[in-house]
Structure 1
């Protein structure tokens, strides 16, 4: 007799352990040019307004969610990890009224079905288990005509692989979904979940330590305008639409 492990539960356990061992500096909420740039790029790319209801999947400690709340957006958070959501509450310190949902995205409460104009996330897709299934769940949470928008690392950018190799606490076991963040894989998973209008936009070149300097920002924005560098830009914005039933 043998014990058969659920592949989703096994993967989630790895992620829970990876993010609960200790607080990672890269996840701590901070109002920096780097964080602001990511938030502003996603909001602008998606044409998101302050009247839209937004769900931030994998919100973690609130690094990006708190930034959007401070800008006046109606955003809620969802995360698998209770420890991270507790840290979110600590960093929020009752500044903003916010709903936080503790759940795997595929087990999001049914009362959230068709409640959101946008389902978004920052650096979270490559930590999820089966993309096809996760996109299906996001699909049911969206209103007809709603959109998903995710900011993800570009697997063809060498800086991310260097970061994994040389950053204490990072590993390919925790970040192994990075290799799946190709346009082909993402588009296939989104089409399987019946999303339409799939689009990918790449930008950025430098990590926070460089981008947060004035010179670093100037060079980064110049690189982002060079279309020839698009295939290896550091970040990619992924969007798709839930069609309106006719």
Structure 2
């Protein structure tokens, strides 16, 4: 059986997450540019770019952007939105990025596109790959969930109806053995027997895990933000752990 991340990021993923806002991506990119101190035309790699919202926003802000993702469905959607061909879209696995060493001035990894893999070394190897593709002193940004906040605020069950298709989307969330997971069921209530089910799982890595393994991978952590508004990270209150730093 394929691992969850090869099954879940397809056409139904775009339905489940269609509420994610392209305008918000523009605002978030504006913040990131300031945090990473990127000069115009900097070479930026968006790792796990998905449907391309942030990659396109960065390209429109004057950067030379490459977006890479394992999902061919999501990459096709990204290309559809990139009418002017502003981004270089490249299929790839974040554990073995298909780029030469030192190819980029900056990398970004957004919306918890990290911690997917069952083998601990696979997740650490993603950090090694980030270091590989960065030039010396190149910048990185990793946007991860705050595990303490997740444990405090997790909503076990929610259901909604997609107005355009009439499909029901049921999401059931839990924390088990160091993972946060979401079981997603998409179904037409008139055809309940044809329901489609997906699983999403992310390791609940704490701040000290990142501090330790970033250092081991020659990535220097410089700033830790708690959200895209630029607020300082607070373990109990912040919804995110947004880490920025440089290649050593």
TM norm. shorter chain > 0.5? yes
Secondary structure in structure 2 of the residue aligned to 1:24: helix
What corresponds to 1:184 in structure 2? Answer: 208
Q: Please report how far the alpha carbon of residue 14 of structure 1 lies from its aligned counterpart in structure 2 after TM superposition.
A: 0.8
Of 15, 25, 30, the match for 1:40: 30
Question: Is 1:104–2:93 an aligned residue pair?
Answer: yes
Q: Deviations over 1:36-86 (max 9, x none)?
A: 332222221111222210000000111211111222222110101111101
Structure-1 separation of matches of 2:215 and 2:157: 33
- Residues 193-204 of structure 1: matches in 2 within 5 Å? 193-203=217-227
Q: For the Cα contact (< 8 Å) 2:104–2:135, is it kept in 1? A: yes
Give the 3 Å change call, closer, same or farther, for CA 101–169 of structure 1 in structure 2: farther
Structure-2 separation of matches of 1:175 and 1:142: 29
Q: For the Cα contact (< 8 Å) 2:226–2:241, is it kept in 1? A: yes
Secondary structure in structure 2 of the residue aligned to 1:126: coil
Structure-1 separation of matches of 2:233 and 2:63: 34
Q: Please report how far the alpha carbon of residue 107 of structure 1 lies from its aligned counterpart in structure 2 after TM superposition.
A: 2.0
What corresponds to 2:143 in structure 1? Answer: 151
Give the 3 Å change call, closer, same or farther, for CA 136–229 of structure 1 in structure 2: closer
TM-score (norm 1): 0.73
Q: Please report how far the alpha carbon of residue 186 of structure 1 lies from its aligned counterpart in structure 2 after TM superposition.
A: 1.4
Structure-2 separation of matches of 1:228 and 1:196: 17
Question: Is 1:91–2:116 an aligned residue pair?
Answer: no
Q: Please report how far the alpha carbon of residue 169 of structure 1 lies from its aligned counterpart in structure 2 after TM superposition.
A: 5.8
Question: Is 1:118–2:142 an aligned residue pair?
Answer: no
Structure-1 separation of matches of 2:170 and 2:129: 30
Q: Please report how far the alpha carbon of residue 153 of structure 1 lies from its aligned counterpart in structure 2 after TM superposition.
A: 2.2
Q: Please report how far the alpha carbon of residue 229 of structure 1 lies from its aligned counterpart in structure 2 after TM superposition.
A: 5.4
Give the 3 Å change call, closer, same or farther, for CA 228–240 of structure 1 in structure 2: closer
Secondary structure in structure 2 of the residue aligned to 1:233: coil
Give the 3 Å change call, closer, same or farther, for CA 177–198 of structure 1 in structure 2: farther
Structure-2 separation of matches of 1:20 and 1:241: 33
Structure-1 separation of matches of 2:77 and 2:139: 28
The structure that is helix-richer by fraction is 1
Q: Please report how far the alpha carbon of residue 116 of structure 1 lies from its aligned counterpart in structure 2 after TM superposition.
A: 0.3
Between stretches 135-144 and 193-202, larger displacement belongs to 193-202
Structure-2 separation of matches of 1:195 and 1:81: 27
- Residues 153-232 of structure 1: matches in 2 within 5 Å? 153-158=145-150, 162=154, 165-166=157-158, 168=169, 170=171, 172=181, 174-177=199-202, 179-180=204-205, 182-203=206-227, 231-232=236-237
Of 22, 29, 48, the match for 1:31: 22
TM-score (norm 2): 0.73
The structure that is strand-richer by fraction is 2
For the aligned residue pairs, the C-alpha RMSD in angstroms reads: 2.9
Secondary structure in structure 1 of the residue aligned to 2:241: strand
